[in-house]
Amino acid sequence: MTEGDIAHSFDCDGVLVWRIPVQSEVFRWNGDRRIILPSELPVLDRTIDETGLRRRDIPTHRFHSVRWVTNRVARAVTSISRGDIYLNTGRKNRRSYVDSTEQALVKAGIRDRFKDLYFGVKGVSNIMSKIVWLDMLSNNYNTVYHYDDNPKTALTIERFFRERSQDVKSVIVRDWSTGFLTRDVNLAAHPNLVIARNIEEAVRLVQK
């Protein structure tokens, strides 16, 4: 059953909330994108993990919890005039991360623009969990746009859905490392990929 025409799926760190604008892959990039098969997609449990943070997890959580949604991002999200908006993040579905993520959206005044928030699951890679949620959305919408700042993630998503003729498009929101990480990529071979200079341009391009 079709729920609507368009869905917008946003990664969190580097797209919605600010972080140092460079990918860790610049230190170990080999140009390969993983090929994921439909048979590999797991069934994910959305139940929030209520387990408290371990001592070794506290520094990472604090680092995430102080990240904020910029005014530029808030304006871009608010400017979306057509389609439903979702969060699709690799942040795991532990209570502490779920709450701090939601609080950042509330503080920026855009929580009500999101129809739902999808998180990663322990033991499942970020790319895999994002594809699972996008596959679910593609069954309910005619077109799905996924905004991500990681070229490896965006290219893997683009290939997975293009080869299955599902209308899911990847939008890379550039950071300092995008040019380096896509320098050997034949972009013409990825027709469902868009590269935007920033989140505002990304939203403008998909709404043309």
pLDDT number for residue 162: 95
pLDDT, residue 2, reads 46
From residue 136, alpha-carbon distances to 1, 3, 54, 71, 107 in Å are: 12, 11, 32, 30, 28
Sequence-separated (6 or more) residues with CB below 8 Å from residue 67 = 13, 17, 18, 19, 104
How far is CA 129 from its chain centroid? 10
Q: Which residue has the tokens 């320098």?
A: 183
Residue pLDDT tens, the chain, 208 long: 345 799 999 999 999 998 777 777 665 555 445 678 787 899 999 999 888 666 666 556 555 555 689 999 999 999 999 999 999 999 989 898 899 999 999 999 999 999 999 999 989 999 999 999 999 999 999 999 999 999 989 999 999 999 998 999 999 999 988 988 888 889 899 999 999 999 999 999 998 7
Phi, psi at residue 168, to the nearest 5°? Answer: -120, 120
The upper half-sphere exposure of residue 151, i.e. CA atoms within 13 Å in the direction of its Cβ, equals: 27
Determine the straight-line distance between the first and last CA of the chain, rounded to whole angstroms.
Answer: 26
- Give CA–CA dist 119/89, Å, rounded: 5
173 three-class SS: strand
Q: Which pTM was predicted?
A: 0.89
- Judged by DSSP in three states, 144 sits in strand
Q: What is the pLDDT of residue 158?
A: 95
b/e for 11-39, b at 16 or more Cβ within 10 A? Answer: bbbbbbbbeeebbebeeebeeebeebeee
Q: Is residue 97 within 8 Å of residue 61, measured between CB atoms?
A: yes
Q: Do residues 8 and 83 make contact, with C-beta atoms less than 8 angstroms apart?
A: yes
pLDDT number for residue 62: 55
Q: How far apart are CA 67 and CA 53, in angstroms?
A: 18
